[in-house]
Structure 1
Amino acid sequence: MRVALGVTGGIAAYKAAELVRVLQDKGLEVQVIMTRSARRFVTALTLASLSGRKVITDMFATSGGEPNVESAIEHIAVAQNIDALVVAPATANTIAKIARGIADDFLTTLCLATRAPLIIAPAMNVNMWENPATQENLDILRGRGATILDPDEGYLACGMTGPGRLASVETIARALFVTLGIREDLRDEKVLVTAGRTEEPLDAVRYLSNRSSGKMGYALAEASRRRGARVSLVSGPASLEPPQGVHFERVRTTEEMAEAVFRHLDESSVVLMAAAVADFRPAESQNGKIKKRDGFSTIEVEPTRDILAEIARRRRPSQVVVGFAAEAERVLENASQKLREKGLDLIVANDVTREGAGFEVDTNIVTLIFPDGREIPLEKMSKLDVAKRVLDQVVEMKSRVRR
């Protein structure tokens, strides 16, 4: 989703930097627009660095000393490609212009040109806030459907005390999330996610493992974080950057993963076991490298620790535990058996032989299977979208537990 953030001239303009970061943490694309006065309080370079895109500061940017024709109609392009427009902080001057339809800079012109929802967070001196003209302008904007976030009360930069302080970044962000339909239904939950593969060493160079890339688990961690959860991600080897804002632990072997999981299990309300844990490990692991000339005809293996089975024995009734089954044959039958044996609330089954599913790709084709026998097949979609659908079911299960 794309959001335009209008920053106007006031001491609270510096808080726009934190707001950009919070919105990006939710996966939103943020286009910042600054008025001339705003640039007296915070630099465009700061907000460009945080948002990852050029800040719009002028209605008519120049190219070689001449007005740039493309920039002159840029407000139309922005207006047609945003899902919401936030003005924070909004000065009394800018509020008056928006209410009266004055379009004398990029931001106020954008307000006229867009049909996206408008959220305004005023910040100003208490007398300016209480002035009848300001209140009349706000009433006009409310009547047109704009969301007005009343300022907080407290000590103001001008030395006075009263309403006028910019609403908190959290308040502004939440209002935007509600407007965009972004859910924070895991806000009070602690989610534990496992991802990637485990590696069981044969010698100092070789190991037994599988092809898991970790993409499904990382998508689950990202989707959980976006919905407000506190996330711990335990990952085996994977060539991925962990999502921002999650507690991250890197492990290698199944034993290391088990130890990390059980450190977090008791405090977690949701457990998403997406890691492809090795089923076997060499009975003996050599310290050095086994030379080809020495050779060996067989490798003796033994079962690894069954993390899911241990979770089933140690879990609390209120915990929701989700497993994953990557199968190559009899997919639904094998996944259903795993669901029953491990005592899971939900298992996500996929056929790794199908194109667009399984390891190393960005998409997946899965079936959600429940203890009561229900099955929900999902069409091919991104792993992040699969994660969202899995979390939809988790939220529903948590709501039943609360009832």
Structure 2
Amino acid sequence: MLQDKRILLIVGGGIAAYKCLDLIRRLRERGALVTPVLTKAAEEFVTPLSISALAENAVHRDLFDLTTEAEMGHIQLSRSADLVVVAPATADLMAKMANGLANDLASTLLLATDTPVLIAPAMNVRMWDHPATQRNLATLRADGVSLVGPNEGGMACGEFGAGRMAEPLEIVAAIEAALTDGPLKGRRIVITSGPTHEPIDPVRYIANRSSGAQGTAIANALVRLGAEVVFVSGPASAPPPLGVTLVKVETAQQMHDAVMQALPADAAVFAAAVADWRAASQSAQKIKKTREGLPTLSFAENPDILAAVSQLTEGRPGLVVGFAAETDNVIEHATAKRARKGCDWIVANDVSPATGIMGGTENAVTLISADGAEDWPRMGKDLVADRLAERIADALTGKD
């Protein structure tokens, strides 16, 4: 897919710049032609020699290089690529991009380009969460810039949270998706997946048996059709998809907040098995067995994410797809759920123990829409995902 594709790789000045060495190697393995650009700060983390050796190409560093600038080299660089990739995209680089600043080679290239741009943000979690960065991110999204990551995890500074740059193979998958001329190219889709864990005390929680496999399969299918996917996942056992912006959450409230932050989007697919209830109060200490008898648990209702998004008056996705995992009267209950929530489609399935579907590799679903109920035969979850992704593409491109 990447054979002879021209990638202009702008390496920003962050500790995550070391990952670009592996990223370049992965791109070259796939036949991509990589033209590297280093910011001045990036040279504090990786050397031009190592970047050049792996890319098998000269490294560009200086806006005022007399040799290239005699022919307006920065303009040529910015427009000769199939895709511009910024990795790591630091808070500073994102701010320059969002506000049209051009005081070095990297920012000038980004302002002068008419080529699609993909960024892989990397920064401290507080910098990522800062309102200024989130405003800049919203501006970049509105300008059509694609995003992969950041991931959540431990950081070089010792803190934990969102801000880790996506791994090289994740960025490669996002590059392949960005260069795919599929029917969903330029479309942004939010997907929820997996279970949620609702704490009772520090060691116990309320959950369900969802593996997240169907959500991962749907995300992979949509990426293959060219979509930009934001994947909001609870603690699933299935591995997350590549080429997406992965947002890891634990609770229903966290999932709700992550979905709302990910909007606007062209479509939203709610494949997660969200717990309907949580403990009304979480014990700060492990609840002990006592001679007084069983503890009493009081429950509170979790936010209804599907209904909240379906009933938005502003910023509602053009297509909202819910899931209904039922154990009896599947069509009746799912049809009522669609009407109650206000979504466009419901993907209903029978998850009673005899089916083996919950946590299994196959699924048998019924697609419920305004046109009625359409039964699909039992098939692998990957095939269900492909079929659903194609239907979503048809709906978003006016073929449905």
Cross-structure match for 1:322: 321
Letter of the structure 1 residue corresponding to residue 323 of structure 2: F
Cross-structure match for 1:376: 374
Cross-structure match for 2:347: 348
What pairs with 1:79-228 in structure 2 (closer than 5 Å)? Answer: 184-228=182-226
Residue deviations 1:158-192, cap 9 Å, x none?
xxxxxxxx99699xxxxxx9xxxx97111120010
- Asked if residue 278 in structure 1 is aligned to residue 275 in structure 2, the reply is yes
Query: How far apart are the structure 2 equivalents of 1:260 and 1:88?
Result: 34
Query: How far apart are the structure 2 equivalents of 1:303 and 1:274?
Result: 19
Structure 1: 5+ residue stretches without partners: 4-14, 20-45, 52-86, 90-165, 171-176
Pick one of 211, 235, 238 that aligns with 1:237: 235
Distance 1:218 1:324, change over 3 A: same
Cross-structure match for 2:334: 335
**Counterpart secondary structure, 1:272:** strand
Q: RMSD between aligned alpha carbons?
A: 3.7
Letter of the structure 1 residue corresponding to residue 272 of structure 2: A
Moved over 6 A (4+): 46-49
Residue deviations 1:299-321, cap 9 Å, x none?
21121111111112216466100
Query: How far apart are the structure 2 equivalents of 1:389 and 1:349?
Result: 14
Cross-structure match for 2:310: 312
CA contact (8 A) 1:198 1:254 kept: yes
Distance 1:202 1:380, change over 3 A: same
Q: How many equivalent residue pairs?
A: 249
CA contact (8 A) 1:195 1:218 kept: yes
- Asked if residue 291 in structure 1 is aligned to residue 291 in structure 2, the reply is no
Letter of the structure 2 residue corresponding to residue 187 of structure 1: K
Query: How far apart are the structure 1 equivalents of 2:285 and 2:81?
Result: 62
Flag the structure with larger Rg: 1
Distance 1:285 1:88, change over 3 A: closer
Cross-structure match for 2:366: 367
Letter of the structure 2 residue corresponding to residue 305 of structure 1: P
What percentage of residue pairs aligned between the two structures are identical? Answer: 38
Residue deviations 1:331-390, cap 9 Å, x none?
0100001111111111100000265553211111111111232x2211111111111111
Query: How far apart are the structure 1 equivalents of 2:272 and 2:219?
Result: 12
Letter of the structure 1 residue corresponding to residue 389 of structure 2: L
Letter of the structure 2 residue corresponding to residue 330 of structure 1: N
Distance 1:275 1:372, change over 3 A: same
Structure 2: 5+ residue stretches without partners: 7-24, 34-79, 85-175
CA contact (8 A) 1:351 1:357 kept: no
CA contact (8 A) 2:325 2:350 kept: yes
Residue deviations 1:261-301, cap 9 Å, x none?
000122x1010000000001111110110012264253211
CA contact (8 A) 2:5 2:82 kept: no
What pairs with 1:21-36 in structure 2 (closer than 5 Å)? Answer: none
Q: CA deviation at 1:396?
A: 2.3
**Counterpart secondary structure, 1:392:** helix
Distance 1:354 1:395, change over 3 A: farther
TM-score (norm 2): 0.55
Distance 1:233 1:295, change over 3 A: farther
CA contact (8 A) 2:268 2:317 kept: no
**Counterpart secondary structure, 1:202:** strand
Distance 1:202 1:167, change over 3 A: closer
CA contact (8 A) 1:230 1:246 kept: yes
Cross-structure match for 1:264: 262
Query: How far apart are the structure 2 equivalents of 1:17 and 1:295?
Result: 70
Letter of the structure 2 residue corresponding to residue 227 of structure 1: L
Distance 1:88 1:48, change over 3 A: closer
Letter of the structure 1 residue corresponding to residue 229 of structure 2: V
Query: How far apart are the structure 2 equivalents of 1:353 and 1:327?
Result: 7
Query: How far apart are the structure 2 equivalents of 1:290 and 1:324?
Result: 34
CA contact (8 A) 2:202 2:283 kept: yes
Distance 1:309 1:363, change over 3 A: same
Moved more, 277-286 or 235-244: 235-244
CA contact (8 A) 2:190 2:268 kept: yes
Cross-structure match for 2:156: none
